[in-house]
Amino acid sequence: MISIEARGFIVGAALAYRLGSGLVPVRKKGKLPWRVYRKAYSLEYGQDQLEIHQDGIEPGKNVLIVDDVIATGGTIEAVAELVKEMKGNIIGAAFLIELTELKGKERIKDIPVFSLIKY
């Protein structure tokens, strides 16, 4: 399971524990030790970068991406690109909240999305 900084860690950790899976954090640039893959992405107010450990996903492994909110989809799109570059198999993305008016799901059309609350 992949969990995105920072509120996504709360949801991801609980879900990983319940499912008995491992948890791989995705963090902003410069916060992870060791060797990382990095992806730049656009925000509503600028740009940022996300990182994941190079040994976080084995090729061919199934991956669920978890975060608290999907809004415009920029963050999840960047994470999905990182996972695909690492040859992980994305089985879905799960969120507590989906802000439907911002159409974030449209940026990750090939990934099944589950959200508990839709606004």
Domains of the chain: 2-118 (3.40.50.2020)
Considering the candidates 7, 38, 85, 106, report the single residue annotated as catalytic. 7
Q: Residue 30 and residue 113: Cα distance in Å, rounded?
A: 29
Q: In the annotation, is 44 catalytic?
A: yes
Q: In which band, very low, low, confident or very high, does the pLDDT at 111 lie, cut at 50, 70 and 90?
A: very high
For 37-63, how does the pLDDT look when each residue is reduced to its tens digit (9 = 90+)? 999 998 777 889 999 999 999 999 999
* Whether residue 40 has a cis bond before it, omega within 30° of 0: no
**Residue with the two structure tokens 């159409």:** 103
What is the chain's length? 119
Provide the pLDDT for residue 114: 97
Q: Taking a C-beta distance cutoff of 8 angstroms, is the pair 23, 12 a contact?
A: yes
Q: Residue 118 and residue 69: Cα distance in Å, rounded?
A: 10
Considering the candidates 18, 35, 44, 101, report the single residue annotated as catalytic. 44
Provide the pLDDT for residue 43: 76
Helix (H, G, I), strand (E, B) or coil at 47: strand
Percent of all residues in the chain with a pLDDT value above 90, rounded to a whole number: 92
Q: Residue 48 and residue 19: Cα distance in Å, rounded?
A: 31
Q: Taking a C-beta distance cutoff of 8 angstroms, is the pair 50, 36 a contact?
A: no
Four-point Cα dihedral 84, 90, 11, 77, nearest 10: 50
Which helix (H) or strand (E) is 113 found in, with range? strand 113-118
Mean pLDDT value across the chain: 95
39: which 2 tokens?
A: 């992806």
User: pTM above the 0.95 mark?
Assistant: no
For 65-103, how does the pLDDT look when each residue is reduced to its tens digit (9 = 90+)? 999 999 999 999 999 999 999 999 999 999 999 999 999
